[in-house]
Structure 1
Amino acid sequence: MSRVLYQQLNSNSKVPSQLQPIANALKAGLQHTANMLGAWVTGPGRHLATAVGGRIARRVRANLSARRLLSFPHMLVLVWVVVLLYGERWVFDSKVNDCDWDHWEKWPKGTKPHHLIFVADPQLIDPHSYPGRPWPLNPLTVTITDNYLRHGYKALQRHLHPDSVFFLGDLFDGGREWKTRQGKFVDPKWGRPRSKDEQEWVETWHNKYGEEFWLDEYKRFGDIFFDNWKEGNEAPGPWQRGRKLVASLPGNHDVGFGAQVQLPVRNRFSAFFGDVNRVDVVGNHTIVSVDGLSLSAGTSEYRDAHDLKPIYGPTHQFLDDIKATKRRAVQEELSFWHGTEKHYAHEVEELNKADLSRFPRSDVSDKAPDFPTILLTHVPLYRNPGTPCGPRREHWPPTKPPKGQDSPVMPDNRNAISITGGYQYQNVLNEADSVKLIQSVGNVIHVFSGDDHDYCEVVHSPAKGGVREITVKSMSMAMGVPTPGFLMASLYNPVDAEGHPLPDAPAVTLQTHLCLLPNQIHTYMQYIVFFVATFVLLTVRALLVPAIPLTPFALEPMKPSTVLPVFKDKVDPPEAYVAGNRARTMSTGTSSHYMPSRLSATAPRGVRSTSPSSSPSSRWQSRRGGRSAKRWGWGDDGGPRIHLDTNLYDGAKEDRRVGGRKALGMVGRELWTTTWRVVWMVVLFWVYLTRKG
């Protein structure tokens, strides 16, 4: 009812007569409250605000003094700023700069190779990565891992200026989990089941995350990699048609694997990133990207029980036409560089009357030129179990061979990629699909793959052409590999107008180099070590403050300002009255009794002599002489207020005990104040760097 009355009062509507007394009382109460509040604001409130503002201003003024700004704790903060800038920014530039092309390329002098970089498994962290991880830990993990990718990629672009960048799949971690706008989104009833942990979250994922969330993730990927593409300059290098970024190769975390690939998910991926099967010509090499995930559905154990042709059919068709597609792409590249392109006038003709014979047809026969081919697949090709990956694998180094054996240990299961599979993943393609890829593509000189997150280099069996394959490290710090990285490839294949290699062309046209990014665990350990050193230095300084003494960093507590007036006769020490009474007694012969105040800290404890000879203050006054004595703080009688009628030794012991306590309190106050000052300033600067990205 009170709410109704309040609304009616504010709306100036007429109040019913039976409620008029209540309305009047409510209105009077509101008016009284407003008057009291106004009186408080103009009176005590204003004084309180003035006092608080004055205290804050005095504190700020004290903290901005030169002595405080140039203090030891602030010097430590400046050192921390340099440490954080190095750990969060400069170390990426240092690591990437060590991988400069000139440091490892071995081409003839004066060559202009094509610089290509492979990035594998950025796998942006999302709700699928750590289900159940609470706020704010999960958003903090996302921010830190994104910043790591961003800093590494920006350093890559700034220092290496690659002509082309190819991604090897797994752009997202849970891309396959977010439902599309098309139809009902459920897991296929066939295939390997999810783990128990994931089964608890499937319904939540399907209900909470959909097309809008996936679009936000796509934008997030673009903010890291697309927006920073310009850091590497926009102009292409010599003999380059333009700088190229290709991210269309899907990973199993993007679209699924084999028989469990969902067509709406794959269609969404290809709509935003491009064809999942494609051919690119760069640096006089042909790069063929193949969706091996969908290809695996054709050899799946579920093929006979379910119609999986919509999954594997497009990849099979692509491989059937791949050799002709490659040759057409090579001829187009050659005609562009050597000026053999023909231009035709724009004419409008009926299709059934047009003369199509005047248009040249590309030669797709075996005699047509073909560049060396590089095969890209997200999942590595098949190899025998225990095939070692080499010394650059970080998970486990190769097993040391026995004495007298020069070749690597075979099998070496801990140094190898395990031949296993599970829900929506398989560590390697099966043998049949691997052979089909090599034979269908043809002229493959090198294979690059991802998925495993760690480096692995193998030479395949003769059935797969004895081709060399490198599985590229993940670039993310959250993929279980302490030292992330990327792979650099330098391509040099000089050819003539017909596509034939020049006489001085090298036999090997591709060189690779593994570039390692900072180990974030080592960076955090350095932070911990430096924090301990900082605390030790602040502790030593706090101990030296009362001992040397050093100027304290901690400000003294602010004393409240005097409110009541203090009169002179209340301030003067009692000795002044004693001296005055004694003087009057000596001159008049009358006696006077002094009653010490309870507030006096120097009141006598016993009976004192009143004879002039026993008054040290009178003798001191006669020597110091009058007016200047009070100015120096000796009181009206000019003498120092020192009393020897107390227990000197017990008092001395008490002073030493209190002094030690005060020193200990000063050390504690200094340590707390300086530590807190360094901590909050350093944390604030780290938050700034983290939010800035």
Structure 2
Amino acid sequence: MPPYSNNGNRYTPRRDYRQHHYRDSDSTSPLDDFRTAIRQGVHSLWRFWNSRGQHMVLAAALSAARRLRQNLTYNRLFSFPHLLVALWVVVLLWGERWVFHSKVESCRWSNWEHWPSGADPHHLVMVADPQLVDPHSYPGRPWPLSSFTVLVTDNYLRRSYNRLQSHLLPDSIFFLGDLFDGGREWKTTHGSFKDPEWGPHPKNEQPYLKKWNKKYGEDYWLREYARFGDIFFTPWITAGAASDVTQKRRKLVASLPGNHDLGFGSEIKIAVRNRFETYFGEGNRVDVVGNHTFVSVDTVSMSAASSDEAGQHDLREIYKPTEIFLNGLSLSKKRAVERELRFQRGETQEAMFNHQIEELERANFEDKPKIGRGVPELPTILLTHVPLYRPPGTPCGPLRERHPPTKPLKGQTDPVAPDHRNAISVTRGYQYQNVLSESDSAELVKKVGNVVYAFSGDDHDYCELTHDAKQANVPEITVKSISMVMGVTKPGFLMASLYNPLDANGKPLAGAGQPTIQTHLCLLPSQLSTYLRYATFAFICIVALTVRAFLVPFLKLPRFALDREPTNPFILPVFKAKLDDYDEYAMPSGFSASHSRHISDTRDRSGSLRSNGLIAQGRVPSPTKNSWAGNGGGSRKSHGGHHGKSSAGGKWGWSGNGGSMRGAPKILIPSESEELYNGGKWKAAASTKPNSTLGVALTELWTTVFRVAWMVVFIFGWLNWRG
């Protein structure tokens, strides 16, 4: 638009601000826009704080203090709902703490072991399948339910294991595999992590593979390792340092792998196994504990040799280490026994050459120490994650939880066999096999040699049996899982008392044929039963609170529910004029017709004015500062030069000239909180009381149930947060 002249003044149209603003905005960077938005947001918050924020915070603080003072009275603290909360504290302490103490305390060694007087047995505990819950356990479970599951299961393991350490003080602990649930699923930093072509993941896990490989890798596995150590290693170290009882050489072995740690057979990834053994130790090992030789065998890797894929693919990298270990096991056992006997005699644990000087031509190079020569063989105990083979339907005995033994027919004394309900299912699937193959079991027992007992895990439930002659009639116990989410309602662990005294040369002193090991199954609390007791007590509390709520209006019992929160004392109006001589006040002359109509609309049916903002009970402020006008029949003037007694200003001095006029008399309206508080006591406002018996009962019921509920949830959360 071209400029033009107006009375000689040149005018140029102003540029459109919005267009200019948009062009400027287009030239700014996103970082500048972000900074501008942050500054504007901070400025808005600051203005809100200076205008209303401070008052709102102060009002909230005063309201909270007032409510706290109301709740801290004697009658309220010792009321019926708080009595129920006190009972809940006892119930929760029992379910979350004391029941673990009671269960483990009942398993004390002296309660079940029977050795000759003066015996000093070695106390050993076997823990199977802790299987820490992780994203592999319940892949479809949403947050926060998944996190709550991890918290509850970890707390169960921690409480059980802590009581085990503090009350039983075991000399040694052996873990029987499946330390993690998804340990084999978390990607490794080094090595190949691809599924073999013959062992892909099942269809139900395929949708989660991309997420698992992206989100859960080496760092996550290391966090899981630290989590396992916090639950199991730390209490072991703490108990050993704080124990007042002189214990034998303490040993904790957690290197035996399970199929959830590595996989099974031909589907094992070498990188996963290398990582596991790096942090937990070799899966194949020999330990002499309590004058018994414990042989741990990585049977999940050994099973690759007898798999269907072994004839089509080269799996030697998987099973060869276990094969080499078993082939040299006889010598390994003798060396371990000799080192133990040397230690007991106070000698060095390794054989040493004779210190002598010889001429080179006459030196006897054959004169060198022999390890294991003439060493007696100690009773051997086989540890394997996967149970040994047994025919389908072989019963597991009366201590199996899932299905007790089938009752025999009348007149029959032997157990029912086959008893498939009471037996371990002889099946296999992706990354698992319930029992070893028959050939692997027979070869394993033969190569280990002198096996007096075998202990296994994997099945999660207890199973005790004696194998046939093909497996040297070895008795075997499959140990229960210690976890609460492994399909058994009463988890547990196995206690073994070892007593095999030896002389200096390793010969037994107790006599041939005498038993050297006694076992006991220690059952832990049923978490399902604990939660059912919580639910039952919650139902009783709701019934009791309901009965009380409906008795309150009938028997005039003290009410627990507080009245509605008082009106905010910072909301205007806070002043009102006196009412001594006037029922109504005239409209000030300065008010317009619209004001008059607005005020007349506020009149109620009795003709008086309702309160609306600054108009409270018929008081209408004059536009003149500090002046009020009345409507006493219209004969009084609200302002002007006349100040006689007939005027409002003459009597009250509300209006007039100069400094002789007094300001309008005002009376401070007490806040509702001040009206409710009288003489150090709180009283209920009549307007907030329920006007019906049912209303009183429902208010009492809701208030008392909510009070008990949130306090119980808080206590339960605190106990679980503490572990």
Q: What TM-score results when the alignment is normalised by the length of structure 1?
A: 0.79
Seen in structure 2, the aligned counterparts of structure 1 residues 67 and 572 have a Cα distance that, compared at 3 Å, is farther
Seen in structure 2, the aligned counterparts of structure 1 residues 247 and 556 have a Cα distance that, compared at 3 Å, is same
* Alignment partner, residue 575 of structure 2: 565
The aligned amino acid for 1:205 is W
Structure 1 residue 563, shift from structure 2 partner: 3.6
Partner of residue 111 from structure 1, selected from 112, 119, 127: 119
Alignment of 1:272-311 (within 5 A): 272-311=279-318
* Alignment partner, residue 323 of structure 1: 330
Structure 1 residue 335, shift from structure 2 partner: 1.2
Seen in structure 2, the aligned counterparts of structure 1 residues 355 and 172 have a Cα distance that, compared at 3 Å, is farther
* Alignment partner, residue 78 of structure 2: 70
Asked if 1:89 corresponds to 2:59, the answer is no
**Contact between 1:165 and 1:245, CA under 8 Å: does it hold in 2?**
yes
Seen in structure 2, the aligned counterparts of structure 1 residues 52 and 355 have a Cα distance that, compared at 3 Å, is farther
**Contact between 1:162 and 1:232, CA under 8 Å: does it hold in 2?**
no
* Alignment partner, residue 10 of structure 2: none
Alignment gaps of 5+ in structure 1: 14-25, 574-594, 601-657
Asked if 1:163 corresponds to 2:171, the answer is yes
Structure 1 residue 118, shift from structure 2 partner: 0.5
The aligned amino acid for 2:137 is S
Between the aligned partners of 1:307 and 1:684, the Cα distance in structure 2 is 58
Backbone CA RMSD of aligned residues? 3.4
Partner of residue 483 from structure 1, selected from 480, 490, 493: 490
**Contact between 1:255 and 1:261, CA under 8 Å: does it hold in 2?**
yes
Partner of residue 361 from structure 1, selected from 366, 370, 375: 370
The Cα offsets for residues 40-81 of structure 1, whole Å up to 9 and x where unpaired, read as 755655544443332222112112222222222112112111
Asked if 1:135 corresponds to 2:165, the answer is no
Partner of residue 212 from structure 2, selected from 201, 205, 212: 205
**Contact between 2:195 and 2:201, CA under 8 Å: does it hold in 1?**
no
Asked if 1:462 corresponds to 2:469, the answer is yes
Between the aligned partners of 1:49 and 1:294, the Cα distance in structure 2 is 66
Seen in structure 2, the aligned counterparts of structure 1 residues 237 and 65 have a Cα distance that, compared at 3 Å, is closer
**Contact between 1:236 and 1:242, CA under 8 Å: does it hold in 2?**
no
**Contact between 1:163 and 1:237, CA under 8 Å: does it hold in 2?**
no
Structure 1 residue 180, shift from structure 2 partner: 1.1
**Contact between 2:353 and 2:369, CA under 8 Å: does it hold in 1?**
no
Structure 1 residue 346, shift from structure 2 partner: 13
Structure 1 residue 426, shift from structure 2 partner: 0.6
| Higher mean displacement: 301-310 or 562-571 | 562-571
Seen in structure 2, the aligned counterparts of structure 1 residues 570 and 489 have a Cα distance that, compared at 3 Å, is farther
Structure 1 residue 566, shift from structure 2 partner: 4.8
| Higher mean displacement: 461-470 or 46-55 | 46-55
Partner of residue 68 from structure 2, selected from 60, 63, 68: 60
Alignment gaps of 5+ in structure 2: 1-19, 584-604, 611-687
The aligned amino acid for 2:183 is G
Structure 1 residue 175, shift from structure 2 partner: 0.9
The Cα offsets for residues 132-177 of structure 1, whole Å up to 9 and x where unpaired, read as 2111111111111111111111111011000000000000111111
The aligned amino acid for 1:424 is Q
The aligned amino acid for 1:507 is Q
Alignment of 1:212-223 (within 5 A): 212-223=219-230
* Alignment partner, residue 265 of structure 2: 258
Between the aligned partners of 1:325 and 1:456, the Cα distance in structure 2 is 30
* Alignment partner, residue 415 of structure 1: 422
Asked if 1:334 corresponds to 2:341, the answer is yes
Structure 1 residue 234, shift from structure 2 partner: 3.5
* Alignment partner, residue 456 of structure 2: 449
**Contact between 1:455 and 1:470, CA under 8 Å: does it hold in 2?**
yes
Between the aligned partners of 1:421 and 1:314, the Cα distance in structure 2 is 23
* Alignment partner, residue 194 of structure 2: 186
Structure 1 residue 201, shift from structure 2 partner: 2.1
Between the aligned partners of 1:158 and 1:80, the Cα distance in structure 2 is 27
The aligned amino acid for 1:684 is F
* Alignment partner, residue 686 of structure 1: 716
**Contact between 1:277 and 1:315, CA under 8 Å: does it hold in 2?**
yes
**Contact between 1:236 and 1:243, CA under 8 Å: does it hold in 2?**
no
Structure 1 residue 559, shift from structure 2 partner: 3.1
The Cα offsets for residues 379-419 of structure 1, whole Å up to 9 and x where unpaired, read as 00001111000011111111111000000011101111111
Between the aligned partners of 1:299 and 1:571, the Cα distance in structure 2 is 111
Between the aligned partners of 2:86 and 2:245, the Cα distance in structure 1 is 44
Between the aligned partners of 2:26 and 2:75, the Cα distance in structure 1 is 59
Seen in structure 2, the aligned counterparts of structure 1 residues 318 and 51 have a Cα distance that, compared at 3 Å, is closer
Q: Secondary structure of the equivalent of 2:575?
A: coil
**Contact between 2:563 and 2:689, CA under 8 Å: does it hold in 1?**
no
The Cα offsets for residues 342-374 of structure 1, whole Å up to 9 and x where unpaired, read as 897999x9xx9999767632134xx52111010
Asked if 1:402 corresponds to 2:409, the answer is yes
Partner of residue 665 from structure 1, selected from 661, 675, 695: 695
Between the two proteins, the alignment pairs up a number of residues equal to 590
The Cα offsets for residues 169-194 of structure 1, whole Å up to 9 and x where unpaired, read as 00011111112112342111124x54
The Cα offsets for residues 309-340 of structure 1, whole Å up to 9 and x where unpaired, read as 11111111111111111111111111111234
Seen in structure 2, the aligned counterparts of structure 1 residues 286 and 665 have a Cα distance that, compared at 3 Å, is same
Partner of residue 677 from structure 1, selected from 704, 707, 713: 707
| Higher mean displacement: 394-403 or 332-341 | 332-341
* Alignment partner, residue 227 of structure 1: 234
Q: Secondary structure of the equivalent of 1:458?
A: strand
* Alignment partner, residue 593 of structure 2: none
Seen in structure 2, the aligned counterparts of structure 1 residues 259 and 473 have a Cα distance that, compared at 3 Å, is same
**Contact between 2:85 and 2:712, CA under 8 Å: does it hold in 1?**
yes
Between the aligned partners of 1:144 and 1:484, the Cα distance in structure 2 is 14
Asked if 1:547 corresponds to 2:554, the answer is yes
**Contact between 1:240 and 1:283, CA under 8 Å: does it hold in 2?**
no
Seen in structure 2, the aligned counterparts of structure 1 residues 559 and 235 have a Cα distance that, compared at 3 Å, is closer
Between the aligned partners of 2:435 and 2:582, the Cα distance in structure 1 is 95
Q: Secondary structure of the equivalent of 1:457?
A: strand
| Higher mean displacement: 114-123 or 205-214 | 205-214
Between the aligned partners of 1:205 and 1:65, the Cα distance in structure 2 is 55
**Contact between 1:387 and 1:412, CA under 8 Å: does it hold in 2?**
yes
The aligned amino acid for 1:80 is W
Asked if 1:438 corresponds to 2:445, the answer is yes
Structure 1 residue 450, shift from structure 2 partner: 0.3
Structure 1 residue 545, shift from structure 2 partner: 1.6
Seen in structure 2, the aligned counterparts of structure 1 residues 250 and 37 have a Cα distance that, compared at 3 Å, is closer
Structure 1 residue 564, shift from structure 2 partner: 3.8
Structure 1 residue 517, shift from structure 2 partner: 0.6
Structure 1 residue 532, shift from structure 2 partner: 0.4
Between the aligned partners of 2:372 and 2:518, the Cα distance in structure 1 is 30
Alignment of 1:335-354 (within 5 A): 335-341=342-348
**Contact between 2:389 and 2:437, CA under 8 Å: does it hold in 1?**
yes
Between the aligned partners of 1:460 and 1:572, the Cα distance in structure 2 is 109
The aligned amino acid for 1:674 is T
Seen in structure 2, the aligned counterparts of structure 1 residues 206 and 666 have a Cα distance that, compared at 3 Å, is same
**Contact between 1:490 and 1:510, CA under 8 Å: does it hold in 2?**
yes
Seen in structure 2, the aligned counterparts of structure 1 residues 572 and 506 have a Cα distance that, compared at 3 Å, is farther
The aligned amino acid for 1:169 is G
Seen in structure 2, the aligned counterparts of structure 1 residues 45 and 99 have a Cα distance that, compared at 3 Å, is closer
Seen in structure 2, the aligned counterparts of structure 1 residues 48 and 115 have a Cα distance that, compared at 3 Å, is closer
Between the aligned partners of 2:323 and 2:98, the Cα distance in structure 1 is 47
